[in-house]
Structure 1
Amino acid sequence: MMRRIAKTWLIGVALLAIGAAPAPTRTILLRPAAVFDGVDPVAHPGWQVLVAGERIVAVGPALAVPAGAETIDLPGETLMPGMIEGHGHLFLHPYNETSWDDQVLHEPLALRTARATVSARATLLAGFTTERDLGTEGAGYADVGLKQAIAQGIVPGPRMLVATRAIVAKGAYGPKGYEPGVDVPQGAEEASGVDDVVRVVRSQIAAGADVVKLYGDYRWGPGEPSRATFSQAEMTAAVAAAHDAGRTVAVHTSTPEGMRRAIAAGADTIEHGYGGTAEIFRAMAARKIALCPTLAASDAVSRYRGWTGADPVPQAVAENRTALALARSVGVPICMGGDVGVFAHGENAREMVLLAEAGMPIADVLIAATSGNARAFHLTDRGSIKPGLLADLIAVRGDPLHALDAVRRVDWGMKGGVVVPR
């Protein structure tokens, strides 16, 4: 059945290309065991979903079905919105395979792009129909081309929000440790001073950035703790320039001062936030700035260093869990994003499982990965199952609201009304 739907879609594209009349809009009735709509913290048994073209047109029990509609039965499955990866790097692969420095300095761009296409497909098959990709880490603007290739149907993958090169304060990022005065390729674009920061923000947007990624703190030298990098004036100017262009801003920051500057500047999301205090998180909650805690990143790096998951818990993992609990206790919106690329693409749900293990209710985790991320990223056309939204849908065995691990085994998917071949 999936092959037949895909073949019909391809025929329609071919007819449009030669100037023939467009094929009629395809209507599909989906009949799962239950529907989780991405908003209500329960699954709705017996609900159905009607799709016409790339959009959802009706949701509920016993829908009226137009003549000629195709039916896809999904027995034993819960239908839910395609999930949204909130923090990924498709141009990175796990650090226990190749170090970050070696990926940035030694891997050819063509190799990194070829691998990214495979990672994009793995992400889509894992049930993530949208990814916010927060920087190519030395691969330039290759994410813009990958986004275009996916949109044109050249390679399969999620809908992408790209940050292109990301932006760092001059001298603050890496790779480091080479002869002073020698220009070494950096994992992000450097900027210094208000005028230069604004110039770089605008140049990245002109090149295709959907979101501006700023590194609000980092280690100035090897072995040093992280410190705030951009001044308040630089950060505020960067955010203003991005917002003027209709782009959201994500700030990598885990120090209280870096977070304070990001909040004061009006950032949309804060990434990591390991060192956040109660005061900092209350300020985030007041401004509805979402926290992307990236538990899976600290977990993965700790395991690469030999941690088995047993007590004692590494300091980075403990700080990460503590910050999440503190943020949730004061009402900070939680973004679901694992910093995928630090660990394998396709294993995106690892972050969801860790959020639940850290005490976040399963329903809240599922909502964060769907309508919550859509809200945080200002995506009004996806994230839940309701009429008028994109038909980006997945089906998992059983009820993920009772057994979250089900999201690690996606049986079926649809993107824009087209069934994704498994």
Structure 2
Amino acid sequence: MLNRLALAFALFLPMPAMAAPMLLRPAQVFDGVDPAPHSGWQVLVDGEKIVAVGPALAVPDGTKTIDLPGATLMPGMIEGHGHLFLHPYNEVPWDDQVLHEALALRTARAVMQARATLLAGFTTERDLGTEGAGYADVGLRDAIAQGIVPGPRMIVATRAIVARGAYGPKGFEPGVSVPLGAEEVSGIDEIVRAARSQIAAGADVVKLYADYHYQRGEPSRPTLTQAEMAAAVAVAHDAGRIVAVHAVTAEGMRRAIAAGVDTIEHGDEGTAELFRAMHDKGIAYCPTLSAGDAIARYRGWDGKAPAPAGVAQSIAAFRMAMAAGTPICVGGDVGVFAHGTNAREMEQMAAAGMAPPAVLIAATSGNARYFHLGDRLGRVKAGMLADLVAVTGDPTRDIGAVRHVVLVMKGGAVVLP
């Protein structure tokens, strides 16, 4: 009886109004693939998708027109390496964030940082570990997807996986257990168990640390073995997940490449040979130039030449990767520096010698392809999700234009202005 009454009552309720189609009319469109922008193009959006792109489109009655004079319309940018549960290290050191900030506090901050990311024009983020906040990124991802809070589409790595004894925080009595920034494993059985557990808990991507420093003041050294990483890769790929690997050392990179991972993060000690091997295997490289730059500035560097050794090494590795034709993603390790300033990585890449159109392609269709999202994101094309951003000026000439966001659309809904 109750079901019949509910149905009868529902028949008399007004149906929710369908959003009218929207015609976006910018000065030009960067489509995410062609290095040259298309002058005079328009984009028609109906529901959550792009339905037509080109000059002088025919539009249905009732279409709402949004004029964007002087603006470039482009795909929503994709942040390739972020940590929404971290905030800049010059505010609170990493150890203190992990050890002393309550989970509720970290989650509340992450909600605000997700909003800042979206309003900056980054409509998708690959979040590579909560750094001690457990599986809170799964909840944040789902809250965004359900429209409870605003933010980018999220691809999450949950806890990340490290070799036992290699990660932090450190500096405590050896017999005392302290909260850690990642899940520890030792051996193939344990890494397989951890990868499966994280996937079961909601991980979209498995994050591994191929190397790290065991004690403070020590250099990074390989930690996970090639066999351990290969076992985790097999589990992740069987489950349809990609594998991202923190690898700073040449040996850590070599093992990760041999294990068949999907992306390598940082790669400071990469060699021409290693980057050619990544090219040959289609492994994408996220250089995270901005993280090293930010940390150097926190330590007193004024940004002028000569750059500190670590910054110079990162730039040299990035240039070797470009020369080798290695697929390059845009990922700044945001959280080391402020969320919402994600464009900093794109500016760093351009300053290091990458042409602005190539940077834009990497941040849109490139990242979408590397993260297995290319069938629905990263391009201004009919049939794709309407994740779109308009910026003042021409970012194919001046990459800094991506900071001047005047419109953000996610899934056909305008979220800015």
Task: Give the drift of 1:289.
Answer: 0.5
Question: How much has 1:239 moved relative to structure 2?
Answer: 0.5
State the Cα deviation string for residues 220-264 of structure 1 (Å, max 9, x = none): 112111111111111100011000000000000011111011111
The aligned counterpart of 2:381 is 386
Q: Provide the aligned length of Structure 1 versus Structure 2.
A: 407
1:126 matched residue in structure 2: 120
Per-residue CA deviation, residues 149-198 of structure 1 (Å, 9 max, x unaligned), is 11111111000000000000111100011001111110001111101100
Residue identity matched to 1:320: S
Counterpart residue number, 2:76: 82
Q: 2-side partners of 1:261 and 1:19: how far apart?
A: 61
Q: Deviation per CA, 1:7-56, whole angstroms, max 9, x where unpaired?
A: xxxxxxxx99x986454353111111110001000111100000010000
- State the partner residue of 1:419: 414
Indicate whether 1:249 and 2:248 are aligned: no
Aligned equivalent of 1:205: 199
Q: 1:182 aligns with which of 154, 176, 179?
A: 176
DSSP-derived class of the 2:108 partner: helix
Q: Quote the residue 2:280 is aligned against.
A: 286
The two structures have a TM-score, normalised by structure 1, of 0.95
Unaligned ranges ≥5, structure 2: 1-8
Matches within 5 A, 1:258-407: 258-379=252-373, 380-407=375-402
Distance 2:20 2:82 in 1: 33
Hey, what's the Cα distance between the residues in 2 that align with 1:23 and 1:251?
Answer: 46
Partner Cα separation in structure 2 for residue 269 and residue 389 of structure 1: 24
Deviation at 1:398, TM superposition (A): 1.2
1:5 counterpart residue number: none
CA distance in structure 1 between the partners assigned to 2:147 and 2:47 by the alignment: 16
Pair 1:232-2:223 in alignment: no
- Alpha-carbon distance in 1 for matches of 2:283, 2:227: 19
State the shift of 1:70 in Å: 1.1
Work out whether residues 129 and 160 of structure 2, in 8 Å CA contact, stay in contact via their aligned partners in 1: yes
User: 2:271, 2:14 → 1: CA distance?
Assistant: 61
Q: Which amino acid aligns with 1:419?
A: V
State the shift of 1:311 in Å. 1.8
Write the distance in 1 (CA, Å) between the matches of 2:316 and 2:54. 40
Task: Report if the CA contact (8 A) 2:221-2:252 is conserved.
Answer: yes
Rounded Cα–Cα distance in structure 2 between residues aligned with 1:397 and 1:131: 23
Alignment partner of 1:145 is 2:142: no
What is the CA distance between 1:310 and its match in structure 2?
A: 1.0
- The TM-score with structure 2 as length reference comes to 0.96
Change (3 A) 1:243 1:20: farther
- Residue 27 (str. 1) matches residue 32 (str. 2): no
Give the fraction of aligned pairs with identical amino acids, expressed as a percent. 71
Q: Which residue of 1 aligns with 2:153?
A: 159
Cα distance in 1, alignment partners of residues 99 and 215 from structure 2: 19
Unaligned runs of 5+ in 1: 1-14
* 2-structure distance, mates of 1:224, 1:30: 54
Q: Partner of 1:420: helix, strand, or coil? A: strand
- Residue 406 of structure 2 contacts residue 416 of structure 2 at CA under 8 Å; is this kept in 1? no
